[in-house]
Amino acid sequence: MRGAVDSPSSGSSGTSTPWAAVLAVWLLGAALMLFAGWGAFSPTHFLDGDDALRLQQVRDLLAGQGWFDLTQNRIAPPDGVPMHWTRIVDLPIATVIVLLRPLLGMAQAEVVAIVLVPLLTLLAAMALTARLAARQFGAKAGAIAALLVLTAVPASFRMMPLRIDHHGWQYVLALVALNGMASRSVRGGGAVAGLALALSLAISLESLPLAVIFAGVCALRLLRGDDRWLVSYMASLALGGAGLFLLTRGLGDLADYCDALSPVHVAVLLWVAGVCALALPRLRTRPPALGMAVLGIAGLGAVAIMGLRAPQCLSADAFGALDPLVKTVWLQSVVEGLPFWRQGLVLGATMVLLPALGLLACWRLWCMAQNRQARDFWVDTALLLAGATLVGLLVARASAVACLFAAVPAAWQIEEQIARWSADRLLLRRLARVLLIVALFVPGALVGMAASAINPPKPPSGKLIQTCDFAALAPQIAAMPRATILSGLDIGPTLLVTSNHTVIATAHHRASAAMRDLIVAFLGPDHGARKIMAQRGATLVVVCPSGGESRVYRKLAPNGFMAHLVKGRAPDWLEPVPVDPQSGVKVWRVR
């Protein structure tokens, strides 16, 4: 497709990014986030263990760990864990730290980096979304789209200060790919989309479904008679993936992993790209269905390559190799990996309603389109949004992409309502439209408010549970002689970034055996925990009695090791270590 030159908008197609509005919305959002988190910007306050471990990975790189060496040596002793992560996400964090370290010192440079870098991803997401909306509908719609990025909680929550893991960058790259698909330049647009998703795949294979969805829309454009989109997209995706694999993984480890871009994935991409580049241009004078048949052959070849080299990666279960106990106790408790019906009402409603609003807008724009080119554009946009929505409904963290894609057509719908509100002279209708406009911006929040009004939450009864404050614990735990710690999967990364200790396991699936040992230790009897600690060389136990992970263990094993610790019935082979009671954390040492 050649772009939406004759978009069914007000004739403002081609408007550049409304930078003044984008910056204003970004500054407003950044100010709100900074105000909400003021006083809690430090490595002790990460909201997720992945963010803490990301900072540790950056520290290891700056301390001299090799570029291709992604082993976390302080997890799962004695061998450590070869992480499935990438150095790509480390680079912006490390750059800010290196630039500011001479001026602020290491600690303050880290604080600036973990605050600034995610806010920059938020700015990039706003700018890319506003650019698309402005080019289709004008500057006002661009400003509305930027504001929708801020109110789209599944996205903005993962681009707020301290959220330095890879998700924000993958959202930005998805928007770059969407911009590419809307380009007037066929080969340039396909290349931009392919390279953006190649970079996203190099960061995490979580982007693989999205890459397939984009390929499907390019195949639809082939069916319409233009093979250039698919050829350009697949060539840039394959060559970009191969180049990024060499740059980030090197040739030292050529094993075929199912959780990271590996030689088998590169081989599949190169095979499909090669078939497209060699066959499709020669079939331009033939019926498009013949090109689709060639794609079918390419797909069968891709499955054969994967089946011969890495049959385990053909499983629909990405965590098929994970220990069954770890899968049951840990994986099924990871909320961000669960479908929308397992989420809270506000988040779940946003995951459904904002993409639905975008799809409704696509349908209306398709109905209003003046020519086939514009109709095709909105069909493609709706398919990309529908595919991202389906993935997002099944995996909560992926719903952010659908919300960001939906912000573009939804901005037009909201702008339309604002225009009607402005032209309406009847006070009651104007008030009703105000409520409608607010609902379009924050549908999930209104659903949550309505649910609370219908069924008010019960006030907490009994004694309030003290939450754990690792900032109070950090100086004391860091001052203790270096040791290996048995702690919860979730708090392990925080212990790593606040001390020099080693932990038995964290919530990272490549350490499946160590994760199983940890879970068995906390669920099992006291003597079983002592045996596992001896095998792993652990001499300290650190738990957060009020934490969610602790509650899971106590629920599953009311008479297990964790339950005994929380109830104050620690075995006699442990002695308590006095720490700041304000931390809420309990520490024991092997006698």
CA 498 to chain centre: 24
The residue type found at 528 is G
- Higher-confidence residue: 582 or 98? 98
Q: Are both 361 and 403 inside the same structural domain?
A: yes
C-alpha pair distances (Å), 153 with each of 252, 318, 349, 388, 397: 40, 26, 11, 16, 11
428 and 341 within one domain = yes
Judge whether residue 462 has pLDDT over 60. Answer: no
Mark which of 397, 424, 453 sits at the end of a domain.
453
pLDDT of the residue at 458: 61
pLDDT at 3 over 70: no
Res 11: pLDDT: 39
Enclosing H/E stretch for 141 = helix 139-151
**Taking Cα atoms as reference points, which of 157, 158, 492, 515 lies closest to residue 319?**
515
How many other CB atoms are found less than 10 A from the CB of residue 139?
18
Is the predicted pLDDT of residue 312 greater than 90, yes or no? no
Is 107 part of any domain? Answer: no
3-state SS, residue 434: helix
Please indicate, yes or no, whether residues 445 and 521 belong to a single structural domain of this protein: no
Nearby residues of 237 by Cβ (< 8 Å), 6 or more positions away: 194, 195, 197, 198, 201, 211, 215, 269, 273
Last residue of a domain, one of 426, 453, 480: 453
Q: Rounded mean pLDDT of 310-316?
A: 83
β-sheet bridge partners, residue 590: 574
pLDDT at 294 over 80: yes
Distances, alpha carbon 489 to alpha carbons 274, 516, 566, in Å: 44, 10, 16
pTM for the full model? 0.92
What angle separates helix 208-223 from helix 167-181, to the nearest 10 degrees?
10
Amino acid occupying residue 189? G
Structure-model confidence comparison of residues 462 and 407, the more confident one: 407
pLDDT at 338: 84
Confidence of residue 441 (pLDDT cuts 50, 70, 90): confident
**What does the pLDDT average to over 551-564?**
94
User: Does residue 519 share a domain with residue 429?
Assistant: no
pLDDT, position 5: 38
Question: Exposed e or buried b for every residue in 203-214, given b needs 16+ CB within 10 A?
Answer: bbbbbebbbebb
Confidence (pLDDT) at 1: 34
Q: Model confidence over 298-307: pLDDT tens digits?
A: 999 999 999 9
pLDDT at position 459? 53
SS3 labels along 499-532: CCCEECCCCCHHHHHHHHHHHHHHHCCHHHHHHH
Do residues 553 and 522 make contact, with C-beta atoms less than 8 angstroms apart?
yes
Quick: pLDDT tens for 172-188.
Answer: 999 999 999 999 888 89
121 domain-assigned:
no
Helices (H), 152-207: 153-156, 167-181, 186-203
Residues in CB range of 238: below 8 A, 6 or more apart: 194, 198, 266, 269, 270, 272, 273, 274
Q: What's the mean pLDDT in 543-556?
A: 92
pLDDT of residue 14: 56
Tell me if 236 is assigned to some domain: yes
Task: Express each pLDDT in 43-96 by its tens digit.
Answer: 999 989 999 999 999 999 999 999 999 999 999 998 899 998 999 999 999 999
Q: In what order do the strands lie in the sheet with 484-487?
A: 502-503, 484-487, 540-543, 586-590, 574-576
For position 421, what pLDDT does the model report? 85
pLDDT digits (tens, 9 = 90+) for 569-589: 999 999 999 999 989 999 999
**Helix and strand counts by DSSP (H, E) for the chain:** 24, 7
> What's the helix, strand, coil split of the chain in %, to 5?
70, 5, 30
490 and 445, same structural domain? Answer: no
Instruction: Give the phi and the psi of residue 457 in degrees, each rounded to 5.
Output: -65, 145
415 and 448 part of one domain: yes
Higher pLDDT, 195 or 333: 195
Residues 448 and 327 in one domain: yes
Q: What is the pLDDT of residue 451?
A: 66
pLDDT over threshold 90, residue 161 = yes
Instruction: Assess whether 393 and 491 both reside in one domain.
Output: no
Residue 344 has pLDDT above 90, yes or no: no
Q: How distant, in Å, are the alpha carbons of 26, 29, 222 from that of 219?
A: 36, 38, 5
Cα distance between residue 439 and residue 448, in whole Å: 12
Give yes or no: residues 481 and 386 share one domain.
Answer: no
Task: Give 437 or 375, the one with higher predicted confidence.
Answer: 375
Q: What pLDDT does residue 227 have? A: 87
Residue-number span of the structural domain to which 280 is assigned: 196-315
pLDDT value at position 10? 38
Among 265-274, 276-285, 361-370, 504-513, name the one with the lowest average pLDDT. 276-285
- Mean pLDDT on 535-539: 94
Residue 436, in any domain of the structure = yes
**Sequence-ordered list of residues with C-beta below 8 angstroms from that of 561, at least 6 positions apart, any chain:** 521, 522, 523, 524, 525, 526, 528, 529
263 and 226 within one domain: yes
For residue 285, the model assigns a pLDDT of 76
Mean pLDDT of 471-490: 93
| Cβ(447)–Cβ(466) below 8 Å | no
Q: pLDDT digits over 187-218, tens only?
A: 899 999 999 999 999 999 999 999 999 999 99
310 lies in the same domain as 348: no
Task: Indicate the residue type of 170.
Answer: Q
> Given this model, what pLDDT does residue 332 score?
82
Q: Are 328 and 515 in contact (CB under 8 A)?
A: no
Q: What is the pLDDT of residues 232-259, one digit of tens each?
A: 999 999 999 999 999 999 898 888 998 8
Looking at every residue in the chain, the average pLDDT score rounds to: 90
Count of structural domains within the chain: 3
Q: Are residues 447 and 327 in the same domain?
A: yes
Q: How far apart are CA 259 and CA 76, in angstroms?
A: 19
